[in-house]
Amino acid sequence: MGKPFYDLESKDSSKLQQPHQNEPSAPSLSEMNDSSYVDFIILGNKENYSVRADRLSILNSNTKLSKLVKAEKYTINHSNIDAINFEALVRFIETKFIRFGDDIKTTLNILELASMFQCHDLEIACVKDLDLKLCVENVLDIFKALRYYNTSTVQTIKTVPKPPMAADEHLNAMFFNTLQFIDQHAADVLPRDEMLSLRFEELEIIIKRDALQIPTEKLIFELLADWSSKECERKMLEPSEENRRRVLGGLIYTPRYLNMTYEEFKKCRERINLLDPIEVQLIENFFAKKKSSNLTEEQMSMLENFKKPRPEFAPMPIHLSNRSNHKNYPKKMRKYAQKQLEDGNGDNCLVNCASVFACIFE
């Protein structure tokens, strides 16, 4: 385990817990001169830590730590590094083994360290652990972490990954699996309180998903109504209908209003009017089976989107762990994915191809 040590000459040393009288405050000189080991010094906010590592393992690791050792730079000045998780990184480099706990926040922290120090094998191990433990309770935490993990690589899959999958491809696959999980379990995820704390960009990614498996479009409307109220509060705006529409922007058009029942639409309007009077009248005409005349192209496109049906099933995940193994999914869902693949339906085809390849080299 990483051992804390202290700069006894520091002006602030009196504020720190002092080592026991018979304990050294740092590794002994003979230990430091042992060329078979290297001691990384982590400078923290309150305590500094020393983590001993096998020199040869680090040098052969092709990580950022190996570059530091070659440059004889052993001090790591990152105050937010957790010493225990950093040691887990070092031990993984030495043994190629890590035992993850139940807390996915620890796994996410180790993933951040693995990315920081370019330990790609550990990144892959973290991804597989996250995929295995993905559930309704943690999916939004994982989504937010991956969303801001590395914006240049963590995107939804647009091309089929080829074996063997690199670390960034595992991250892409995990981000896709996170969104796929939200699609499949949208009825349980969207009503969660954590949805209301999402940033606009995060909410937009989720709410615009085509394959959200929801019993009614009213669920999306209610989420927008609740989120807009919270966002006005965060921005210290009066929660008027105008301000709530303003913070939502184009998201007011994401509910597929024409797939609601008329009673559901009326209840939505009673709560808040997200659409303007002309748009509301067009929807009223649809339910009354009245033909609207002199529609602009924009209005026709809007109405088409409002009545677009959602896919019968969410796409299949990419096989990263036993949880995302296709054999654990309903037969109807697998058959639907196969049909999408055979029909060559755009991005869905690429994603399902990726799933097939991932199963091969998992």
* pLDDT tens-digit map of 347-359: 554 454 444 444 4
| Per-residue pLDDT, 341 | 85
Report domain extents, the chain: 1-84, 215-279
361 has a pLDDT exceeding 50: no
| Per-residue pLDDT, 268 | 97
CA dihedral 208, 211, 213, 217 (to 10 degrees): 40
Residues 217, 175: contact at Cβ < 8 Å? no
Q: Which of 185, 205, 98 is nearest to 136 (CA)?
A: 185
- Structure tokens of 117? 């120090």
* pLDDT tens-digit map of 129-142: 999 999 999 999 99
Beta bridge partners of 37: 54
Q: Round to whole Å and give the CA distance between 152 and 163.
A: 21
20 has a pLDDT exceeding 90: no
Q: Which of 157, 193, 180, 103 is nearest to 353 (CA)?
A: 157
Confidence of residue 214 (pLDDT cuts 50, 70, 90): very high
Instruction: List CB contacts of 292: < 8 A, sequence separation 6 or more.
Output: 282, 285, 286, 299
Q: What is the mean pLDDT of residues 6-10?
A: 43
Helix (H) or strand (E) holding 270: helix 262-271
| Per-residue pLDDT, 77 | 86
| Per-residue pLDDT, 203 | 98
